[in-house]
Amino acid sequence: MSSRRFGTQSLMLLLGHWQQEHARTPIWRQLADALRLLILDGRLALDTRLPGERELATSLGVSRTTISSALAHLRDTGYLESRLGSGSRIILPDSRAIPTRAVASEALDLSTAALGAGPEIFQAYTHALTALSQHLTHTGYDQAGLQPLRAAIASRYTARGLPTRPEEIMVVNGAVSGLALVLRMLTGPGDRVVVDHPTYPLAIAAIQGAACRPVGVSLPQTGWDIDGFAATLAQTAPRLAYLMPDFHNPTGRCMDSNTREAIAAIAARTRTTLVVDETMVDLWYDAPPPPPLAAFDKQANVITLGSAGKSFWGGLRLGWIRASSRTIASLTQTRDTLDLGSPLLEQLATLWLIERSNEFLPARREMLNARRRRCSELMQAHFPDWRFQQPQGGLSFWVELPDLLATQLAARAETVGIHLGTGTRFGLSGAFDRYLRMPFSLEPAELESALLRIKPLWQPLNNGGSAIKRNIV
């Protein structure tokens, strides 16, 4: 099977502002580092063929020697495979570890906003193993999910102001899996799907993986752009709109009740199905969120996605869909083409966690709130030119840099064993290269160590960027 060729224009958009003119690092190495970052982030898919050297040199405005040196470096480090007449194909090194100049034990991942398991996870699985025996006489196949778990999830929605019955819940293998299932049922190739801009990278990937076209509605400095949302729906006639109103990833903001009501009314008027991602809903710090967006929907056109990953532990790999019973029935039929249900042991463990969430979630929020404050203090102390707002919930800060430097900083950070989440991962067509998503889920000492290793990389980069900007002005 021949590999897919990546277009030059698309590659240029992804690369963004990769070149620093006054840096000591050679241009070929800057390009190689930027391409490696795209590969590690998954934005350049494996087995994809890059454009030819001559074409790349012309489009990027560099010499062919620069291109050749960059590609040779990627081949030497295991990221490219080249064949005469077939171009260069993206691969990954044979080693499972990301090769950096730092030893593996020193590598830190700041691209992922998630927590490890607490002691309650072991307790949940211990209970689940005991409870499993009563289910062993059955086949274990259940596409809708375990009835007691569906009832427990439904009760949570009812308590939050959205009356829900168990038959309005389907258990799935995580929120992204749920989104993929919804896209499979409701969309076709070429359909438009409206998203917040920026938004969750895996949602973008799921939409594009369904051969749909994501259309972004830019988020203002605060809140949501209701008029922009309405105009985009009117102009593009999308099949769906995917939103994260409860501690939006990556900004951490929360949609107020008035905005939820307005968004629901616009969607109803335009007959646009809303897919609402609530994976962060339990991680609030200042105040709990308003009732679910679906509570403001009068026509049952809102499909809600939930997940155990952020609230409890990502290793559970369990989520759910809340929708009308008719929609759930249709999704159950559609699921036949994907899988035959979710693992029973994980469902039993999640049921135990949901029933006891009030015993440990408050402490989890208190711990994360303390880490949020510490992360803010560290960034203000070491990076005074970084701008950010306190997230109302979630697991990360959305940090604005003084210039288009995120890709360059991330490429340099890789060389010291730190993987950063650049803003371009959260945007369409290479947008948000002046932003970083900075998680505060790490232990404070670990986070401080990472930031101190980034600091000497940032200072010359920022000074060079400022000089370039002054020269242009």
Q: What is the pLDDT of residues 54-110, one digit of tens each?
A: 888 888 888 888 888 888 888 888 888 887 766 788 887 765 444 443 333 456 889
- The boundaries of every CATH 3.40.640.10 domain in the chain are 119-355
The CATH number, out of the four listed (3.40.50.10800, 1.10.10.10, 3.30.70.1230, 3.30.9.100), of the domain defined by the range 8-90? 1.10.10.10
Burial of 286 (0-12, 13-18, 19+ CB in 10 A): exposed
The CATH superfamily label for domain 104-115+365-472 reads Aspartate Aminotransferase, domain 1 (3.90.1150.10)
Three-state DSSP class for residue 384? coil
Look-up of token digits 């199905």: 273
- The boundaries of every CATH 3.90.1150.10 domain in the chain are 104-115+365-472
Whole-number pLDDT of residue 423: 93
Whole-number pLDDT of residue 92: 77
Other residues' Cβ atoms within 10 Å of the Cβ of residue 453: 16
Whole-number pLDDT of residue 99: 41
Give strand pairing partners of 80. Answer: 90
Question: How far apart are the C-alpha atoms of 328 and 348, rounded to whole Å?
Answer: 21
pTM tops 0.85: no
pLDDT digits (tens, 9 = 90+) for 150-173: 999 999 999 999 999 999 999 999
Question: How far apart are the C-alpha atoms of 118 and 120, rounded to whole Å?
Answer: 5
Q: Which residues of the chain have pLDDT under 50?
A: 1-2, 96-105, 465-473
Q: What CATH code is assigned to 119-355?
A: 3.40.640.10
Whole-number pLDDT of residue 471: 30
Question: How far apart are the C-alpha atoms of 325 and 167, rounded to whole Å?
Answer: 6
- The boundaries of every CATH 1.10.10.10 domain in the chain are 8-90
Give strand pairing partners of 316. Answer: none
Look-up of token digits 């241009």: 27
Pairing, β 192-197 against β 213-218: parallel
Single out the residue of 299, 310, 239 nearest to residue 275, CA to CA.
239
